[in-house]
Chains A and B, each alone.
Chain A
Amino acid sequence: MISSAVYTVMFYGLSAAVILLAVLAVNLRQLLRAALALMGMLSLSAGLYVLLHAEFLAGVQVLVYIGGIVVLIVFAIMLTRSSELLEDHPRPLAQVLGALLSMFFLFVAALALRDTRFPVQVQTGPPVDDVRQIGLLLLDRGATGYLVPFELLSLLLLVAIIGGTVIARKVAPPKQPFTTGGDARGETITESARTQRDIVPGEGAP
């Protein structure tokens, strides 16, 4: 078993690194560096879950958040016009409002954490298999099981697919040529949003 001193050191070290990387992810101007910082922050929070013996959650964190959601966020940012993003300097009023809202959220979160009673289970005997218990609870049809939320989850994911498809297809026409750059006719890429759509498929670069 891990000694409490090592545990404390690891907890504070991981937490400090997570906070540092989160601040970097928000403040870095280069998209890829910010994405890397976000990935580092998420993987280190997976380390925090491991410290809490929530191995399944840590695995899901790595698989879903780092593997999927960061990539999705990067794609979503790449869909926007890059020049707008780089020249985006929010006005002081917006900055103050943002800071106030963030502090309000922090306050509410701290209140919620303070008023929640977390039941402490003193564990005796051999450690239980975490993933096994989750599996049994997810498929349990009884009153204590989570079968209905589990099946509803698939509906939620279905809504995500359909909603994403419907919204994104309004943004772009279906026959937009696949391209990673605007080099088909040698035009500069800053005006790619308009010109790429006019390129006839088949005329593109090799």
Chain B
Amino acid sequence: MEYIFVLAMVGLAAAMVGGGLFFSRLVAPHNPGGNKSVPYECGEQPIGQAWIQFNVGYYLFGLLFLVFDVEAALMYPWAVVFRSTGLPGLIEMLIFVLVLVIGLIYAWRKGVLEWV
């Protein structure tokens, strides 16, 4: 079965990450405290907590990405049979995409795609 390679890959990746963690724990000195437990902020002292309230723009971008992610996933079967379905298949897919483009234009007009 061809998925034996996937399994081997998963095993190798787990061994590499786990081995790295294990040997660094074995070799590295361990004395926590002070500034070492502070979240890394490129040398700045972080103010407040790491868990803040996010801007809602992130969520809308995520939603838009998800919609076009689903669209892309549904385009794969069409791409496989593109030659045999020909022009009717192309038109059907164009209708599908156009409806989503309406949504993109709506989001664009409402300023979802703008930061600040």
Contact = CB atoms under 8 A, between A and B. Distances in A.
Given A68-B62, A75-B62, A132-B80, A168 B56 contact: yes
A16 B42 CA distance: 40
Interface in B52-99: 52-60, 62-67, 69-74, 76-81, 84-85, 88-89, 92-93, 95-97, 99
Contacts of B40: none
Interface of B, secondary structure class, is: helix
User: Which of A161, A179, A183, A189 is most buried by chain B, counting CB atoms within 10 A of its CB?
Assistant: A161
Contact of A169 (B1, B46, B110): B110
Interface in B25-71: 46-49, 51-60, 62-67, 69-71
Given A63-B72, A136-B85, A157 B103 contact: yes
Contacts of B80: 129, 131-132, 135
Interface residues of A, number: 65
B107 A171 contact: no
Contacts, number: 175
Given A141-B88, A181-B52, A151 B69 contact: no
Contacts of A178: 55, 57, 115-116
Interface of A: 1-2, 31, 50, 56, 59-60, 63-64, 67-69, 71-72, 75-76, 78-82, 129, 131-132, 134-136, 138-139, 141, 147, 150-151, 153-155, 157-158, 160-162, 164-165, 168-169, 171-172, 174-183, 186, 188-190, 192-193, 196, 201
Q: Which 5 A-B pairs have the closest CB atoms?
A: A189-B48, A135-B77, A161-B103, A135-B81, A68-B66
